[in-house]
Amino acid sequence: MVIELLTTSVHLGMYQKKLGKDKVLKRLIKEHGEIKVTKKKNAYLYLCLSILSQQLSTKVARVIKDRFLQLYEGKFPTPQQIVDTPVTTFRGIGFSNAKASYIHNVARFAMEQGMEDKKLNKMTDDEVIDYLVPIKGVGRWTVEMLLMFTLGREDVFAVDDLGIQNAMVNLYGIDKTDKKKMKADMMQIAEAWKPFRSYACLHLWRSLNN
């Protein structure tokens, strides 16, 4: 997971004070320093990029992302341009058939139903999830990544993310033999992190990088 450190409207001391009540996060914050969350534009594009990055190493995902943007002369493609790009072209730069189809689905949805930043920014986290999950190829985890890294939402907890699971198992001694109980234990611990669970996730991912 690549973590971008960007500016935010929230006073950073607020999240540090809140999360610092957790001994594990207090140590991570001290080690990592500030981790910031922000909004980006073109949500439909970042949703496409999130899909193409799934189940790939960071290095491979970057290569395919670069190839994808090169199809459009290095510029951000419009939803119409993505729809007009044949599946065979996407296959030629490393997409699977499924991912090529899913990205077309996202682009069509953006054109037909709307995925403008202004529209999504007016929705709650749950409303964004309910709105986008019906797109074939888009799951809850994918939308959670969009909420956190594109829409700049500060209280997202990605309980299904393998990295978050591994970090919390290692740092909090959670038993991972029973997946259902593991997730329940994770959610219980994360309750204390509200309303800054996105920052907690970023620190947990960073702990894996270390």
Instruction: State the DSSP string of the chain.
Output: --------SS-HHHHHHHHTTSHHHHHHHHHH--------S-HHHHHHHHHHHTTS-HHHHHHHHHHHHHTTTTSPPPHHHHHHS-HHHHHHTT--HHHHHHHHHHHHHIIIII--HHHHHTS-HHHHHHHHTTSTT--HHHHHHHHHHTS--S----TT-HHHHHHHHHHH----SSHHHHHHHHHHHHHTTTT-HHHHHHHHHHHHH-
Residues 6 or more apart whose CB falls under 8 angstroms from that of 177 comprise none
Distances (CA, A) of 81 to 58, 111, 152, 166: 25, 11, 26, 38
Question: Which position has the token pair 């907890």?
Answer: 157
Q: What is the pLDDT of residue 12?
A: 62
Write down the pLDDT at residue 11.
Answer: 53
Q: What is the pLDDT along the chain (210 residues), one digit of tens a residue?
A: 444 444 444 456 789 999 999 999 999 999 998 888 889 999 999 999 999 888 888 889 899 999 999 999 988 999 999 999 999 999 999 999 999 999 999 999 999 999 999 999 999 999 999 999 999 999 999 999 999 999 999 999 999 999 999 999 999 999 999 999 999 999 999 999 999 999 999 999 999 975
List, in order of start, the domains of the chain with CATH numbers: 12-37+156-209 (1.10.1670.40), 43-149 (1.10.340.30)
What is the distance between the alpha carbons of residues 19 and 38, in angstroms, rounded to a whole number? 18
Model pLDDT, residue 10: 47
The three-point CA angle 192-50-24 to 5° equals 25
CA distance 115 to 128: 10
pTM reported for the whole predicted model: 0.88
Side-chain-side CA neighbours of residue 146 (13 Å) = 31
Minimal CA–CA distance to 199: which of 141, 207, 124?
207
